[in-house]
Structure 1
């Protein structure tokens, strides 16, 4: 992931089941500086660590069928550009998505939305 993260003009990254190896991801500070859209789909990721503000330009985070993931890193609450977190059949991270939403609101960012789509295709907003 370090090689991908260091691509200077990378704005969209979509990773699915075979694109990621391992159960833990710890992005390094200085990676993914221009990334605006991140989609993780059907990856066996269990721990996602981000000690510094990851993805400083991120606008949309979409997680699909991420059954093993229990938490979105808390540092996502500090990403000023974040506008949408969309969870599709990804249930374990709802609480952390709600915490990020509340943190963003405490900073005066009322533009962040969290959408949840369940297994029947119904979408609602947190």
Structure 2
């Protein structure tokens, strides 16, 4: 992921199925500086350690069918550019963390921030 994160013009990243190997992901500071859209779909990630310095330009986060993911890092909610989070078919704890981020954003006056929860099963 360090090589991918170091791409200077990377704005969209979709990690699907077996494109990410490992149970933990902690990006390095200085990576993903221009990333605006991040989609995680059906990857085995359990622990995600991140905050605003890791994705400083992120606008949209989509997490789909990541059954092992325990939660969305609360530091993601500190990203000033973040506009939306979509969670689909994940653990209740992931949904809860998305809602906590939404509450935090609203308490800071970001009323346009959106969280969308979709459960197809």
**Shorter-chain TM-score category?**
over 0.9
Distance 1:86 1:55 in 2: 17
1:10 aligns to what?
10
Q: Match for residue 24 of structure 1? A: 24
Using structure 2 for the length normalisation, give the TM-score. 0.93
User: 2:103 is matched with which residue?
Assistant: 102
TM-score (norm 1): 0.90
Q: Return closer, same or farther for 1:51/1:81 CA change in 2, 3 Å cut-off.
A: closer
1:32-111 to 2 correspondences below 5 Å: 32-50=32-50, 53-91=53-91, 92-111=93-112
Superposed structure 1 runs of 4+ greater than 6 Å apart: none
SS at match of 1:93: helix
The superposition leaves residues 9-54 of structure 1 with CA deviations (integer Å, 9 ceiling, x where unpaired) of: 0000001111011100001111101100000000010000125532
Contact 2:52 2:76 in 1 (8 A): no
The SS at the match of 1:18 is helix
User: Residue 117 of structure 1 corresponds to which residue in structure 2?
Assistant: 118
* Greater fraction helix: 2
